[in-house]
Amino acid sequence: MASGIAREFDVIVIGGGHAGAEAAWAAANLGARTALISMDPSRTGAMSCNPAIGGLAKGQMVREIDALGGLMALATDATGIQFRMLNASKGPAVWGPRAQCDKYAYAKEVQRLLSTREEITIIAGVVEGLAVERGRITGVHCKIDHEYHAPRESADCCGEFGAIDIAEKPIFLAAKAVVLTTGTFMRGLMHTGERKTEGGRVGEGSAVGISGALRGLGFELGRLKTGTPPRLAAETIDFSSLVLQPGDDPPVPFSDMTMDKFPVLEQKPCYLTHTCESTHELIRANLHRAPMYNGQIETSGPRYCPSIEDKVVRFAQRTSHHVYLEPESLSTNEIYCNGISTSLPADVQDVIVRNMPGCANAKILRHGYAVEYDMVWPHQIDATGMTKLVAGLFLAGQINGTSGYEEAAGQGLIAGLNAVRFLRGSDPVRLGRDQSYIGVLMDDLVTKTPREPYRMFTSRAEHRLLLRADNADERLTELGRGLGLVDDARWAVYQRRSAVIGALKEYMSRTMYEGGRLVDWARRSEVDAAMLTAAIAPALQSNGQSQWAQRQLVARVLADVQYEGYVRRQKREVAKMAAQEQTRLPTDYDYGRLTGLRREAVHVLSRFRPATLGQAGRLAGVTPADIMLLTVTIGR
């Protein structure tokens, strides 16, 4: 290596996807010297599937990442080209903010944000092995192409990194903590019909050495599949014949730090089209050429984001399926076909596309494909992200059997935070199921073995009345501040907003309106945000907030007031369960020695090694009687 370039770091993050970016960012927020190793740093933050952030439950996670000082919401607000609040006709507990982003601008913005942190060194290279001594990670063996240093003086206007040439040879990089975020690249194999290509993403290679290294350390690996649809040329689509899908006006940003000009980029609509019965017949006639049905792919794909061939088989009674045509960038003509993910041969995909209304003359820029990849069964990690076999080794993202940018980012933040806490000897952080969707995600991963890539839904959160998108700051910003993730600027914004909300609620409590207190009137089901805005106009005029900020605050206050009774009830339920959730279980306990514990429970507890009594109770195969026996044993 060139002289003066470090070979020792506090934390090494492997992989520059959404999990890797958040892990490196969190570690840097805590002041750790961090190396981010990627096969191609220019692809850091790339949106390899739909360039959309958020959605139902996923949007809540992005707001939580933001409340904890993460970067995903910041990048989304800077590069979104359509913002929509999903489920807006229902209650605030299930609202899901979503943004369609310019995928090239998003990746550049993530790179720009990372480049502003002097704690982060970007390295272009491939990790070929993990160094472990006495059960602890000590570093990685890496074949390096380049090391990148950010042009700090221009970090506010540029997302590029300056490269320093280094001799291309395997070297050892030391670190006390390593975060592995390989996405779909561990032995990645792409399928389009009978054609197979090695790689985790179009135009990129496959990481082979990591799989072998993990197996050598004793990890159980599995294999999963995901897929992507064809992309179309915008100028070849007849949008005038399609149903317009506009964004919200005015839109709501993701980040609490977005206070100036918003939205930043020009806003674009999406369009709705659909498949037809003749297309479904064509797909059935070609299932023998579909890798998922001819035995070429034997792994499971995402059940809740199925391929079009899966939809046609599973929902045989349906004669059509919705397809959303979504722009991928302001600077290119690429249109994403949301709803027809497929690995069928190219000639079949051509007909599927041209049979859709508005697409008779559509040109396919890139055909859809499926990708198979190795993952680590997540019963081998703790809810902190750290593996149970190797201390200091953390896993985050699709390597844990999840799907989605948001799920990956949430895991990355938790892994980066706990990697630094591990090397500093601090207690690890586990978010509770009542604190965040991120906590639900991490708990589900370590108590349930995924049969297909895990995707977050509001229905997975039993405490979702507490976990609204609009109150993520209230739930997590003080925690993030205490952990060192939240900087002074974000903390000041949070304190100002909290003070305004408190003042509005106090005003409503002491102000009479329509024969009673204003706060009691606001609890009526027929009261909406517009009505409340008019009722508290004097208080709003005195708080100095911008008009769009006032809209968000009123909606937040209204939700707090109308959900208050339900929230109190749910908090009482949480309090009852708190003892179990906080009761720690020894990770090295021999459950086979516990007299009276059923054989199935012994097997499950020994396999998953739950960290708490609460986690043990959520394991399939562990009964309430088993938990009672464990409780008594711990008491002794």
| 353-395 pLDDT tens trace | 999 999 999 999 999 988 888 889 999 999 999 999 999 999 9
How many CB atoms sit inside 10 A of residue 565's CB?
10
Residue 203 pLDDT exceeds 70: no
Q: How far apart are CA 99 and CA 54, in angstroms?
A: 6
Beta-bridge partners for 215: none
Write down the pLDDT at residue 298: 67
Predicted TM-score of the model (pTM): 0.90
Which residues make Cβ contacts (< 8 Å) with residue 586, sequence separation at least 6?
none
| Domains of the chain, first to last | 8-227+373-460 (3.50.50.60), 231-248+264-370 (2.40.30.260), 487-574 (no CATH), 583-635 (1.10.150.570)
Q: Would you say 344 and 227 are in contact if contact means Cβ atoms under 8 Å apart?
A: no
Write down the pLDDT at residue 346: 94
Q: Would you say 411 and 419 are in contact if contact means Cβ atoms under 8 Å apart?
A: no
Query: Above pLDDT 90, what percent of the chain?
Result: 63
- For 178, phi then psi, to 5°, come to -130, 135
Write down the pLDDT at residue 315: 92
For the segment 81-118, what is each residue's pLDDT rounded down to a tens digit? 999 999 988 888 889 999 999 999 999 999 999 999 99
Which residues make Cβ contacts (< 8 Å) with residue 283, sequence separation at least 6?
290, 308, 309, 312, 344, 348, 352
Question: Closest by alpha carbon to 224, among 342, 368, 370?
Answer: 370
Write down the pLDDT at residue 147: 63
Write down the pLDDT at residue 153: 38
User: Collapsing DSSP states into helix, strand and coil, what is residue 240?
Assistant: helix
Residue 555 pLDDT exceeds 50: yes
CB burial class (10 A; 0-12, 13-18, 19+) of residue 316? exposed
How large is the C-alpha radius of gyration of the chain? 25
Write down the pLDDT at residue 242: 97
Residue 145 pLDDT exceeds 80: no
Residue 306 pLDDT exceeds 50: yes
